């Protein structure tokens, strides 16, 4: 039997997960996107050789290219973990300044790769993308990893959002406060998505998908280092991370 009326459930808000995240390393910043989190981290270094996984989105390579880094790709095994022998061979041949690691779906721990890289050369900078295990930063933190980056928008209903945690100083003052069309279009699309979940209107669905596509084109054509929007920061301080974790586990 469906219940009508009664008392509303109480959510334990505000949520401090993202606020606490900024305390995990010496420096941190919230950006418009994950690629800009990478870009801001790279702003702390002069360009050099970088190794990135062969299986990654073009938008992860783009900040390196835009910053003048030379990219080589290392192999992964069938389970998406790092092929250590192949990586070590590349380290010998390329002598990179940085290595980018990814924990795919939270199922591919990077500890062995991190130890191997630092054993080979402790001066190599290790950046790890934790987008796919955004809500496990406490478990993820490895003192040998120099920098963590993630796209927040992949997991949370925000119009924009990326984060970088670093042991190196970040030039956060360089982040622009301009509210871009990427943010404005995603804001409007997010409101329409909420209406669509209740109405199932095909017209709304087509409209919001068009807005999302336009926003995607916008960020491709306007790569810059932008600060996260005020709207997204407000949402991050009031989301219920425990509820999202529970939903994602159930979906899996």
Residue at 228 is within a domain: no
Whether residue 229 lies inside any domain: the answer is: no
- Give the pLDDT band of residue 217 (cuts 50, 70, 90): confident
DSSP label of 44: T
CATH of the domain at 104: 3.40.640.10
DSSP tag of 102: E
> What is the pLDDT at residue 15?
82
- Domain hosting 128: range is 17-174
The confidence band for 12, taking pLDDT boundaries of 50, 70 and 90, is low
Whether pLDDT at 2 is above 70? no
Lowest mean pLDDT among 42-46, 61-65, 96-100, 103-107: 103-107
132 inside domain: yes
Q: pLDDT band at 99, cuts 50/70/90?
A: very high
pLDDT at 154: 85
Find the distance separating the first CA and the last CA of the chain, reported in whole Å. Answer: 28
pTM comes to: 0.90
- Position with higher pLDDT, 250 vs 144: 144
Instruction: Indicate the helix (H) or strand (E) that contains 42.
Output: helix 34-42
């Amino acid at each position: 039997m469906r219940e009508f009326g009664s008392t509303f459930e109480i959510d334990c808000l505000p949520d401090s997960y993202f606020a606490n995240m900024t305390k995990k390393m010496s420096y941190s910043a919230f950006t418009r996107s994950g690629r800009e989190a990478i870009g801001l981290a790279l702003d702390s270094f002069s360009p050099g050789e970088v190794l990135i996984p062969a299986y990654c989105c073009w938008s992860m390579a783009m900040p390196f290219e835009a910053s003048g880094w030379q990219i080589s790709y290392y192999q992964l095994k069938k389970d998406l973990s790092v092929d250590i022998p192949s990586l070590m061979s590349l380290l010998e041949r390329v002598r990179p300044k940085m290595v980018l690691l990814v924990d795919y779906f939270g199922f591919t721990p990077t500890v062995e790769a991190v130890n191997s890289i630092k054993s080979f050369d402790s001066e190599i900078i290790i950046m790890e993308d934790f987008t796919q295990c955004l809500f496990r930063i406490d478990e993820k933190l490895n003192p040998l990893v120099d920098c963590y980056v993630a796209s927040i928008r992949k997991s949370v209903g925000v119009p924009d959002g990326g984060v970088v945690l670093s042991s190196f100083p970040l030039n956060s003052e360089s982040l622009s406060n301009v509210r871009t069309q990427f943010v404005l279009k995603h804001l409007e699309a997010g409101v329409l998505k909420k209406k669509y979940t209740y109405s199932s209107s095909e017209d709304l669905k087509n409209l919001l998908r068009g807005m999302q596509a336009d926003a995607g084109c916008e960020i491709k054509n306007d790569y810059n280092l932008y600060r996260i929007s005020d709207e997204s920061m407000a949402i991050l301080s009031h989301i219920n991370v425990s509820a999202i974790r529970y939903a994602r586990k159930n979906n899996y």
